[in-house]
């Protein structure tokens, strides 16, 4: 993702990168996998001194966009299966990535117990072999999701607060599950030996489409 900004108060101006090997391998029980997460989150509220990620009244509440890059050292195309000479998206293995990211890398750090975690998605649209970012062969999946919200009362020392700020919105319903919209563009790049998944998870269709059109679709894929 290009880390673009718009004129509106919406997203943080920089894309973050997190490389995960041990955690994702343990989660998937596959020692051949490595995961890179590129992500962005809602902008800071100057009034509240923290990201709108925590603000239940913001259209950017609980929202993220970015890209996942998964490599399999065995040479298998993660997230895809062979089907009559072509690759078809494996929805189950794809769904594991945002679930792992949201629950294990975000919410657990905020203090949510694993027994209280919710992540359900219902596919509303799936289109194969579409063009995106100057490449053919992407698969687009749109989904309705029910996931835990990020709203919670400030804890003690939390590493994630260095990024998002500590929450200043008091709530009586910490991590209450909410309905959201999700979008994933998926493609396996044989020349890079990796699967790339561009994603958006946000509150409503309008915000999702705006993020896709004005930011995500302007991303550039290149090998340094």
Q: For 168-211, how does the pLDDT look when each residue is reduced to its tens digit (9 = 90+)?
A: 998 999 999 999 999 999 999 999 999 999 999 999 899 999 99
Average pLDDT value over all residues in the chain: 93
User: What is the SS3 assignment for 1?
Assistant: coil
The span from the CA of 213 to the CA of 34, in Å, is: 29
Residues of the chain with pLDDT > 70: what percent? Answer: 96
| pLDDT digits 0-9 by tens, 53-80 | 999 999 999 999 999 999 999 999 999 9
Residues of the chain with pLDDT > 90: what percent? Answer: 87
The span from the CA of 39 to the CA of 20, in Å, is: 13
Q: Classify residue 85 as left (phi > 0), alpha (psi -120 to 50) or beta.
A: left
Is 80 exceeded by the pLDDT of residue 223?
Answer: no
Model-level pTM? 0.93
The span from the CA of 224 to the CA of 151, in Å, is: 38
């Amino acid at each position: 993702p290009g880390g673009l900004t718009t004129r509106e108060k919406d997203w943080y101006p920089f894309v973050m990168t997190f490389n995960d090997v041990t955690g994702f391998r343990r989660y998937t029980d596959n020692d051949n996998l490595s995961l890179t997460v590129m992500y962005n989150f809602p902008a800071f509220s100057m009034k509240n001194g923290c990201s709108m990620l925590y603000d239940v009244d913001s259209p950017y509440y609980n929202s993220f966009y970015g890209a996942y890059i998964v490599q399999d050292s065995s040479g298998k195309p993660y997230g895809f299966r062979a089907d009559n000479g072509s690759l078809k998206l494996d929805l189950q293995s794809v769904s594991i990535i945002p679930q792992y990211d949201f629950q294990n890398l975000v919410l657990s750090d905020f203090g949510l117990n694993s027994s209280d975690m919710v992540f359900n998605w219902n596919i509303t649209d799936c289109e194969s072999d579409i063009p995106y970012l100057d490449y053919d062969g992407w698969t687009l999946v749109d989904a309705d999701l029910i996931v835990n919200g990020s709203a919670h009362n400030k804890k003690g020392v939390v590493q994630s607060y260095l990024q998002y700020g500590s929450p200043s919105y008091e709530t009586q319903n910490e991590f209450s599950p909410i309905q959201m919209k999700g979008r994933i563009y998926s493609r396996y790049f044989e020349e890079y030996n990796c699967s790339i998944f561009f994603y958006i998870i946000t509150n409503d269709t309008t915000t999702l489409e705006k993020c896709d059109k004005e930011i995500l679709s302007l991303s550039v894929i290149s090998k340094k």
